[in-house]
Amino acid sequence: MGAELTGDAFAGWMHRALGEVEAALGRWVPADAPAGLGEAMRYAVLDGGKRVRPLLVLAAAEAVAGARAAALRAAVAVELIHAYSLVHDDMPCMDNDVLRRGKPTVHVRFGQAQAMLAGDAMQALAFEVLTPDDDPALPPPLQARLCGLLARAAGHAGMAGGQAIDLAHVGHALDEGALREMHRRKTGALLQASVLMGAACGAVDAAAWQALAAYGEAIGLAFQVVDDVLDATQPSQALGKTAGKDADAHKPTYVTVLGLAAARERAQALHAEALAALGRSGLAHTGRLHDLAGLIVARHH
Ligand code: GRG
């Protein structure tokens, strides 16, 4: 996302966090799943991606002094759900894309059936990671809480529902309110859940929970607005995915609905909303969340 956008302490924190997430994904995504499935799963999720969602989980857990081992499982689980959604989204029956994270998409590399199965298996693996038999950092009530937050963000009320709205609106106009509602589900719900799953790993009162939920909602939407701006202004090589696809497919975006300048202003306004929510949280250690919000709106890919 650009280390030049961050201070040294934050860059160091991010480097360590990314290393932990990468190592945990490497441990928990099985190479030996049958008939090449493991290879397809590992191709889909290892060695690529900005890991924004895992970083949000770990930053939120730090804000509430949450257990690191639990937060790491939550971080891996949310990345598995995100990576599965990208695999399915890229398939010919959905967005039909050939480039993702700078590599050929999973169905291009392994075939459509294997890509579908890899996505299915990653979705299930996310919940396996959240429900270990033998990890004292994750007592059963916390396991249930994390599973509930993730399932609700990934399912009909969240990402899958948002994707259904998206597919139903190819070639149709959407006003800003409807666009916001679609993205609240499709992209925002999982980003917000990342924050809340991190928060669930520690002790947090109702006011702080509400404030973190508002932070997650604002940053989730800001992420999408910035995504639309980058999609309209950056080449595919910089993004590691095919640029301009939504506009080419006549899908409404923040840039087509608001215009480029207003979309940039909207991202700034949402950033300010996110920081105001952190200020209301009453939590002392929100520095990482603060810096991540800045990184999300200032990112170049
Ligand atoms: C298949 C149920 C299902 C849902 C797919 C999230 C999604 C829904 C589709 C992805 C389409 C897309 C490009 C949305 C824009 C925002 C977004 C989620 C971008 C990709 O996330 P990044 O930028 O990707 O965090 P990396 O590769 O860095 O992890």
> Which domains are delineated in the chain?
7-298 (1.10.600.10)
Say how far apart CA 75 and CA 69 lie, in whole Å.
10
- Smallest CA-to-CA distance from 55 within 289, 246, 251 is with 289
CA 192 to chain centre: 9
- The reported pLDDT for the residue numbered 7 is 76
Residue 209 C-alpha to ligand 1 middle, in angstroms? Answer: 25
Q: Atom 26 of ligand 1 has which residue's CA nearest to it?
A: 49
Say how far apart CA 246 and CA 90 lie, in whole Å.
13
Q: Atom 10 of ligand 1 has which residue's CA nearest to it?
A: 86
Q: What is the DSSP letter of 49?
A: S
State the alpha helices, DSSP H only, in 155-286: 159-168, 176-183, 189-200, 206-233, 236-239, 245-248, 254-258, 260-280
What is the residue whose two structure tokens read 């999973």? 106
- The reported pLDDT for the residue numbered 2 is 47
- The reported pLDDT for the residue numbered 252 is 83
Say how far apart CA 301 and CA 292 lie, in whole Å.
14
**Mean pLDDT per segment of 10 residues, for the chain of length 301 residues?**
65 96 97 96 94 98 96 98 98 94 96 98 98 93 98 98 91 86 96 98 96 98 94 80 72 89 95 97 95 92 78
- The reported pLDDT for the residue numbered 121 is 98
Residue 127 C-alpha to ligand 1 middle, in angstroms? Answer: 20
